[in-house]
Amino acid sequence: MCLEMYETERKELVDILIGKGISNQDLINVLLKIERHLFVPDIMKQHAYKDVALPIGMGQTISQPYTVAFMTQELDPRPGQKILEIGTGSGYQAAILSGMGARVFTIERHTDLYNSAMKIFDRMNLKIAARCSDGTIGWEEFSPFDGIIVTAGGPTVPVNLKKQLAVGGKLVIPIGDKKLQTLQVITKKSDTDFFTREVPYFTFVPLIGKEGWKEK
Ligand code: SAH
């Protein structure tokens, strides 16, 4: 009964996202399948299929569904590709990428969020490599990545992430001040040549780390 209800709500949400310009059919199928209510705290479940960001603890949020869908569509992950995510948070974005067939590597700096995301990945039987550390320095051991997605907003593009991106790969990252960012979609054309497209405006929680904002 309850599950059916969420299925209807999920379908309605996906229709809203399609109305806002989400057109990648593989992505749409995954958005219809992945249960966002499993990634939010119990008291937030009733709001899980509204197109809004929701608090997940530690002052962090699960991104707005449209933002997740838009960033994923820009990243355009293909099955088998190696994708690095910085900012695991609830784990929802990582689950979407995994659902699309990517080999997902994700980094979260908050231990509590890392632990609860790991539990959800296990429960959903998702093969996602996760680590608790500062994602602004990347994950060199598994580089180069075919795509990198950063789900927290930083002041500048971390050099290590550009280095760890494969030639031909895309890096999607919000850059700006702490209140407002533009989404930069950066294509690595060669080791020294990057093409950047900017999409205004988004608001993310701050990217905190060596190549991000300093923690207060
Ligand atoms: N992708 C997440 C969004 C979570 S919000 C989701 O689907 O729910 C962004 C997350 O980035 C927060 O959990 C925050 O703790 C984390 N974060 C911020 N700076 C980070 C860094 N340098 N390395 C890893 N995670 C970071």
pLDDT digits (tens, 9 = 90+) for 132-188: 999 999 999 999 999 999 999 999 999 999 999 999 999 999 999 999 999 999 999
Report the C-alpha gap between 68 and 39 in whole angstroms: 13
Residues 6 or more apart in contact with residue 115 via CB below 8 angstroms: none
Is residue 3 over pLDDT 70? no
CB of 61 shorter than 6 A to ligand 1 = yes
Binned at pLDDT 50, 70 and 90, residue 124 comes out as very high
| Three-state secondary-structure class, residue 69 | helix
Q: What angle do CA 182, 138, 75 make, to 5 degrees?
A: 45
Report the C-alpha gap between 57 and 62 in whole angstroms: 10
**pLDDT: which is higher, 216 or 69:** 69
CB of 36 shorter than 6 A to ligand 1 = no
Mean pLDDT estimate for the chain: 97
Nearest residue (by CA) to ligand 1, atom 16, is: 87
Is residue 172 a contact partner of residue 152, using CB atoms and an 8 Å limit?
Answer: no
* Residue tagged 């919000």 (tokens): 174
Helices then strands, each counted (H, E), the chain: 6, 9
> 63 is written with which tokens?
């991104």
Q: Which of 63, 90, 98, 116 is catalytic?
A: 63
Domain 3-202 CATH class label: alpha beta
Judged on CB neighbours under 10 Å (0-12, 13-18, 19+), 58 is: middle
Is residue 84 a contact partner of residue 106, using CB atoms and an 8 Å limit?
Answer: yes
| Three-state secondary-structure class, residue 67 | helix
